[in-house]
């Protein structure tokens, strides 16, 4: 089997990693961490979500944070939006790239975005059109692609329908998100195979949570299927505030190590990432789920 020789690590820690923390991270600390991640070689960093601060208080400084980001042409700083209002906010703050996201689970969509899956599907199409009309680069993600704690198994047809919509709308990349960490290697491989027919022209990514300890195993399965974009969070931080028992993303440091072991270059210095993780660990006063950062 021929594996990809290089992959892109998409750092989502400053958004997904921070959003579940009850202790508010100061904007200055967020900026320091983001700058450190860029210095470590990460070229795609998700810095914030443009959602209601009443629901996700950690993101209340999204606009201020974006306006203070370093001018680093080689790094793409981007945000996440769940509706057209979020897309508008991200553009007005100065971002040139946005990820639009909907859930394949109706129950999760209602809790996370305040709308049914069908409404979110239509909103997703509007978000892409709005962002593209504003000259933004648009990527998309489908949450709960491998199952939902509220609904159990999510029909593959629902995921494929959303994938076709996003592909037809013209997104630059499509990411399958294992929001609840219910994915397994056979499920990942099966969904990616099915998606080849639905959206073959769109680069694919994986966003994996380690809720059941299979995050890195699923990443390896994705690599074997040819996936070259992997969302990760420094130290294994993260989780959806609206998923009971939510666990963090696969850790950036650990994923970089795994990819190197499988012969795929990332261009990321995991030791530099680890220094950012240790700083966050000290601020939060606890160990984080990642493994490798403790060994640097």
Point out the residues that are catalytic.
240
Bridge partners, residue 100, by sequence? 81, 140
Q: Tell me which residue of 132, 135, 136, 106 sits closest to 119, measured CA to CA.
A: 106
CA distance 233 to 37: 10
Tokens 């037809």: give the residue: 168
Task: Tell me the backbone φ, ψ of residue 79, rounded to 5 degrees.
Answer: -120, 180
CA distance 70 to 57: 23
CA distance 25 to 155: 38
Any idea how long the chain is? 296
CA angle 147–121–64, rounded 5-degree value: 90
Count each helix (H run) and each strand (E run) in the chain, helices first. Answer: 11, 8
Tokens 């100061």: give the residue: 26
Buried b (16+ CB within 10 A) or exposed e, 234-267: bbbbbbbebbeebbbbbbbbbbbbbbeeeebebe
Token pair, residue 114, equals: 């305040």
Report which secondary-structure segment, H or E, holds 10: strand 8-11
């Amino acid at each position: 089997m021929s594996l990809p020789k290089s992959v892109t690590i998409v750092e989502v820690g400053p958004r997904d990693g921070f959003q579940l923390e009850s202790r508010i991270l100061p904007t200055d600390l967020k900026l320091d961490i983001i700058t450190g991640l860029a210095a470590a070689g990460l070229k795609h960093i998700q810095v914030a979500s443009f959602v209601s601060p009443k629901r996700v208080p950690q993101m209340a400084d999204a606009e201020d944070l974006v306006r203070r980001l370093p001018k680093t042409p080689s790094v793409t700083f981007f945000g996440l939006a769940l509706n057209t209002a979020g897309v508008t906010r991200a553009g007005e703050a100065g971002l040139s790239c946005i990820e639009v996201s909907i859930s394949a689970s109706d129950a999760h969509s209602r809790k996370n975005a305040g709308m049914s899956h069908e409404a979110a599907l239509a909103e997703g199409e509007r978000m892409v059109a709005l962002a593209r009309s504003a000259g933004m680069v648009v990527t998309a993600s489908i949450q709960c692609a491998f199952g939902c704690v509220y609904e159990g198994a999510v029909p593959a047809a629902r995921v494929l329908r959303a994938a076709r919509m996003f592909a037809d709308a013209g997104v630059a990349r499509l990411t399958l998100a294992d929001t609840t960490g219910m994915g397994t290697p056979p499920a990942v491989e099966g969904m990616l195979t099915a998606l080849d027919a639905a959206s073959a022209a769109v680069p694919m990514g994986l966003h994996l949570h380690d809720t059941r300890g299979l995050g890195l195993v699923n990443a390896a399965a994705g690599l074997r299927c040819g996936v070259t974009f992997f969302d990760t969070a420094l130290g294994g931080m993260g989780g959806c505030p609206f998923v009971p028992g939510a666990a963090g993303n696969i850790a950036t440091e650990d994923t970089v190590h795994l990819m190197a072991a499988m012969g795929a270059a990332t261009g990321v210095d995991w030791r530099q990432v680890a220094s950012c993780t240790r700083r966050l660990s000290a601020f939060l006063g606890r160990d984080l789920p990642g493994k490798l950062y403790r060994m640097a």
